[in-house]
Amino acid sequence: MSTEESSGGRSQIVVLSGPSGSGKSTIVQRLLRESPVRLSMSISATTRPRREGEVDGRDYYFLTPGEFEERRKRGDFLECAEVHKTGYWYGTLRSELHRAATENCWALLEVDVEGALNVIRDYPDALTIFLETPSVEVYEQRLRARGTESEEVLQRRLQTARNELELADRYRYRVVNDDLDRAVEEICGIIAQTEAKLNAG
C-alpha cells in the first residue's frame, strides 16, 4: 500500500496471530508502547458474552448475534469468522482501519489464522506476523506442566497448534516467542524495516 493511500484515509495493517499460549496479548501490549511506528489497536466485534473485567468498546464491541449479522450483511467487516468452533463470531470492522488512519497510526489486528488469511486476500501488502512457541513439543510440555486440561482437550489443542503452524507459511514473518524482550525487539525491527521500505517506495 502506498504512502499516498495511507495519508488518504487508509492505514498500513499489521496482523498478529499465533496459537493460544504463544504470548500474544503480552506482546500486543508491549508493541502498543514500544513500536517505532505508532500503532492503534483494532477493536474487534464479537458475539461472545463479556467476561468479567472486560469493557465494551475497549476490549471488544460486544454485539448480539442479530446486530453482528446485520453489520455483516451491510459489509461493515473487513473479515469475520466463527472462531474455534465456539459458535461465537468475531470480526474486524472497517471503521477501525479508518480510525487508525485518522489517528495517523498503523492498525494492529490480533486475529486468528482464518481471519488473517482473509485480510491477506484483500490487503496483500499487510504486514503479517505469526507468533510461535518454540515448538509443538515445548507447547505440549507447558500444557502438561500446567495440568489443567484433560488428555482429550490437550490433544485437540495440540492438533489445532499443528494445523495453525501449517498455515504459518502464508505469513510474511514468523517470530518465535522464546524470550519476550527478544521477540518484541524482533517485531519492532520488522516494523521499522517495513516503514523504511514504504518511505523509499
User: Which residues here bind ligand 5GP, judged by CB under 6 A?
Assistant: 44, 48, 79, 81, 83, 90-92, 110-112, 114-115
Cβ of residue 80: shortest distance to ligand 5GP, in angstroms? Answer: 6
Give the integer Cα–Cα distance in Å for 28 and 152.
30
**Cell, residue 6:** 495511507
Decide: 184 and 16 in contact? Cβ < 8 Å. no
DSSP 8-state secondary structure symbol assigned to residue 87? S
Tell me the residue nearest to ligand 5GP as measured from the CB.
Answer: 115
Shortest gap between Cβ of 44 and ligand 5GP (angstroms)?
Answer: 3
What does residue 13 show for φ and ψ, rounded to 5 degrees? -110, 135
Q: How far is CA 3 from CA 7, 76, 102, 125, 170, in A?
A: 6, 24, 14, 12, 24
Q: Which is nearer to ligand 5GP, 94 or 172 (CB)?
A: 94
Q: Which is nearer to ligand 5GP, 20 or 195 (CB)?
A: 20
